[in-house]
Amino acid sequence: MKIIVISLRKDGHGAEEFAPYLDAEAKTALGFVAEDFVRELYSIQGGRGAVSIVEAESEAEAREKMAELPLAKAGLLDIQFYPVTAFRAIKPLADTL
């Protein structure tokens, strides 16, 4: 199952609160890429957060995995999950080729 995950920094926290976790956060995220859990990873401009395209058996599995992020453990992220499928017009269009 493909899931778009949007991880945003929670409001009301200064940069100094995030700083101690950033190296571990990057290491964990790269580990997710190496495990093929995260298929694509993008930073949101302005340092507000990240967008990940993940592959998991279920949304629950994705939630458990993303909860391992150091910033999530510290309660500094608002993480949103959007399970997706292929756009409905793609298969009928492909069938005409």
Q: Please, what are the domains in the chain? A: 2-95 (3.30.70.1060)
CA angle 7-20-56, nearest 5°?
30
Average pLDDT rounded to a whole number, residues 23-27 = 97
pTM of the model: 0.88
pLDDT tens-place string over residues 48-90 = 999 999 999 999 999 999 999 999 999 999 999 999 998 877 7
Alpha-carbon distance of 34 to 46, in angstroms, equals 26
Q: With the CA atoms of 33, 2, 65 and 37 taken in that order, what torsion angle do they form, in degrees rounded to the nearest 10?
A: -20
CA distance 67 to 64: 5
**CA–CA dist 48, 37 (Å, integer):** 22
Partnered with residue 86 across adjacent β-strands are none
